Amino acid sequence: MQKESPTTVKITNADPSAMGLFGLAIVTLVASSQKLEITHGLSLIIPWAVFLGAFAQLFACIQDSKRNNTFGSTAFGAYAFFWFGMAASWMIKMGVFGTVLAAAANVDGKQLGFAFAGYLVFTLFMTIGAVEANKVLLIIFCLIDLLFLGLTMDAFGFAAEQFHTLAAYAEMAIGIVSLYGTGASVLNAHFGYSFLPIGKPCGIFTPKTK
């Protein structure tokens, strides 16, 4: 009696980029509305920071990791934890964890400045990677560079008003472009062709064939 040959089952995960970009889009739209003084207060930004900015991008990070996508997993994971950190920072400032943590003597905005500066350096590296992804992603990362530049300078008090404005408009633009990227990711995969163009890689860092 012959042995049956083993059956190979291939499990394919859907591209999580659309969900990650959607989370980024919504949280930046909501947060930028406060920076631009279209809205006020932080209470109703926090849920979107946690559930869209953080959890949606963390989900995309985990799924990209399963797909062996180091770039996507690192990007979504890093920005997910950024929004966890920002939500917690806002809650401390608002006194959610008690008056001692919220006291002016214990809150130094320059500490956030160092975090923003670290994220700026990180995003510059990721922008280099985005050059060989697509044009939409490259635009998003360039805008994130501007966002963190503005946040860093604002936190350290260098031309704070001008850099705060830069951060606000960059963040709003991130939301708008990320919404387009979300639509492109979903519809291009759904229809099986480039329904919404995202632009080809720049080819600057692609190894040249001999």
Q: Are 202 and 131 in contact (CB under 8 A)?
A: yes
155 pLDDT above the threshold of 70: yes
- In the chain, where the domains are located: 18-191
> How much is the pLDDT for 104?
77
pLDDT in tens, 97-129: 888 888 877 888 899 999 999 999 999 999 999
Q: Taking residues 180-191, what's their average pLDDT?
A: 97
- Nearest alpha carbon to residue 51 among 16, 26, 72: 26
Give me the chain's average pLDDT, please.
93
92 pLDDT above the threshold of 70: yes
CA dist 196 and 193 (Å) reads 9
